[in-house]
Structure formats: structure tokens, C-alpha cells
Chain A
Amino acid sequence: MVQPQDIKTYIETNLPCERVEVSGDGHHFEAIIVSHQFSGKSRVAQHQLVYQALGDRMRAEIHALSMRTLTPEQWAALGH
């Protein structure tokens, strides 16, 4: 079964990120991804970058993934 740590690794391997947090139970996952790559992109384009990083695993192994994408500036604005 896929673990949250696996998803974190898949994303980090294929997308330069400042921060990736993944939680989940093996079926449903939630991720927060902070990346410079998101700057100036629409939400759709940001999520597409993450889906791209996950590639075929999104079809095969991962049934449900909720995600929130943030630029480093947006992350900092949240008080982090």
C-alpha cells in the first residue's frame, strides 16, 4: 500500500519544492506543497505540475489525493 512518505518522495523527486507535507491512510491522502515553480501560475496549472510529478502513479496507485498548492510567499503570509 502506498504510504504518505512515498507520495512525498514522488513529488519531491520530480518537482523542485520548498516544502511537501503528506498525510493519509493509504487510500485518501492530503498534501500541502510549497514551490517556487507555482509563482505566476493558475491553480489549475499548479495542480497539473503536481499531477505531472506523480505521473502514472496517479492513475495506478493513488486513489484520492487532496492538495493545496502555495508559493513560498503565500506560505510565509500564512505565518510560517
Chain B
Amino acid sequence: MSVHDIIDQQVKGHPVVLYMKGSPDFPQCGFSANAVKILKACGVTDFYGVDVLQNPDIRQGIKEYANWPTIPQLYIKGEFVGGSDIMTELYQNGELKQMLA
């Protein structure tokens, strides 16, 4: 299975997927920590976190998958939502909570 296929299965197999540096309990980067904090603030506790530091192929592959060069990356129902900045904006204007409902 190609990296693209693995990512495809991950984002379509779970309602909320966060590609991040570190684990949801121990984020290894400020932007990833911010993303986890926002999800929790929206009441999401059981999202699927993928630690790209544990998997170099996914780390590279996810950047190509969404044509997005940075991590974290949030996917809801298989759709790419954005990175840390967009999550912050969507959280502040209330849209993210609706998308996660």
C-alpha cells in the first residue's frame, strides 16, 4: 500500500484526524499543542492523532496529500480543514464547533 493510500484510509476511516508532531497527550511543537487544545475546547476528546515524528513517510506524504507544507493538519470527515492558523480562526468564529458537531 502506498503512503497516499495509508493516509487516505486514515482520514476516511476516522471522523476527526489530526496529523501532528508528538502525541495528543505530549505534543512536541507549539502549533500541534495549539491544535490539540482547540479540539479539546470544541469537546472532541477521541480524535485520531497521527504522530508524524514516528513516521517519516507519513510526514512527507501528508504534505503532498493536501498540497500543504506544514504540520499540524486537521481532517474532518475525510476533508482537509487546515493547519493551526485556520483552526484558530474557525474556532474563534464558531465554525469549527459546528463542523465537529
A→B interface (CB under 8 Å): 43-44, 47-48, 51, 58-59, 64-68
What count of chain B residues pass the 8 Å CB interface test? 15
Contact indicator A43/B84 (Cβ below 8 Å)? no
Which residues on B sit within 8 Å (CB–CB) of A48?
Answer: 67-68
Query: Which of A44, A59, A66, A67 sits near B69, CB closer than 8 Å?
Result: A59
Q: How far is the CA of A43 from the CA of B67 in the complex (A)?
A: 14
B→A interface (CB under 8 Å): 30-31, 67-70, 80-86, 89-90
Which residues on A sit within 8 Å (CB–CB) of B82?
Answer: 43-44, 47
Which residues on A sit within 8 Å (CB–CB) of B81?
Answer: 44
Contact indicator B86/A47 (Cβ below 8 Å)? yes
Q: How far is the CA of A44 from the CA of B30 in the complex (A)?
A: 20
Having A47-B68, A47-B85, A51-B68, one finds 7 other A-B pairs with CB under 8 Å, namely A43-B86, A44-B68, A47-B82, A47-B86, A58-B69, A64-B30, A65-B70
